[in-house]
Amino acid sequence: MKSLSPFLFLFGFVLLLSACGGNEEVATVDPAPVQPTDSAPAAAPASKGRIVWVDGLSLRESPSLTAKRVAKMKNGEVVKLTGQKSDENENAVLRGVLYSEPWYELTTEDGKQGWAHGGGLKGNREVKGNRPLTDTKFNFPYFGEFDLSGWKKTGPTSTSAGDFDYTTTTYVGDGQRLSITTTGTESGSEYGYNFDYLLQNSRGDTLKTRYFSYNNDIREIEEVVVDYMGAEPTQHRRTQSVSTAYQQLKGYPLMARGEWKSQPLSEVGKEDFEI
């Protein structure tokens, strides 16, 4: 038998390498898309949209509380920002809370365009807003939710001491007694005004107190709640800096904005909690 020539042997070896596919392209499979667990609604991306949280928020022709109203927006309405906002912040009291924010130009769901105060707008995940407040229906953090419309009302009674006038109204119902004393609101005190709440049971034991003040001198809002119903009395306090006297506002702030600080009453200096 004749042996294979070196040329034929080399040719066969090359064919074998080609068949093995040393440079074969490997097929890849794209991974399945990951579904977001908390995606924002497409209608209100954080960069372009806002949600109205105040029912009846005014849409105005220009960025000012005195500008002509174009329309009123409803709670939960999604609006689209145009990208324009006012250069300066303006104070606005919304549901008893003072907001110092710029105005935003926007377009409503039905196509109206105008300006709205930023205090009445929020982002998709922004924690902002509170329930409506009235003299007899309110929900204050740490103090509680009350509807006094069915409680027996006594007063108001007024007294004066120095530069201050005190007005007290008392409500009795559900086995409790709630006394609310206001200072400075009727006389337009240059110093500011206070609201004091005293909640007692039918035996006269103090359950909770709440103190709210707008201090013109130091330009500060203070809100303090003391809860006596637990194993140890606890104070909850927060403050908010303000830029103007309350007489220059439209409406009275009734709650502060800011982080709460809570601590046992025994650890608080008397000047911090005494009301």
145-169 pLDDT, tens digit per residue, is 999 999 999 999 999 887 788 999 9
Q: Give the DSSP H or E segment for 245.
A: none
Q: What is the pLDDT of residues 14-61, one digit of tens each?
A: 333 333 344 333 232 333 333 333 333 333 344 579 999 999 999 999
Residue 189: predicted pLDDT:
76
Question: Distance between CA atoms of 189 and 265, rounded to whole angstroms?
Answer: 30
Residue 129 CB burial class (10 angstroms; 0-12, 13-18, ≥19): middle
Q: What angle do CA 144, 145, 150 make, to 5 degrees?
A: 130
Q: Which residues of 97-124 are buried (b: 16+ CB within 10 A; e: fewer)?
A: bbbbbebbbbebeeeeebbbbbbbbbeb
Spans in the chain with pLDDT lower than 50? 1-46, 273
Token pair for residue 241? 């800096």
Neighbours of 218 (CB within 10 A): 10
Model pLDDT, residue 21: 41
**pLDDT value of position 164:** 80
Nearest to residue 236, comparing CAs of 160, 165, 142, 172? 142
pLDDT at 76: 95
Give 117's strand partners. Answer: 103
What domains does the chain contain, in order, with CATH numbers?
49-122 (2.30.30.40), 137-273 (no CATH)
Looking at the whole model, is its pTM more than 0.75? yes
pLDDT given for residue 161 in this prediction? 80
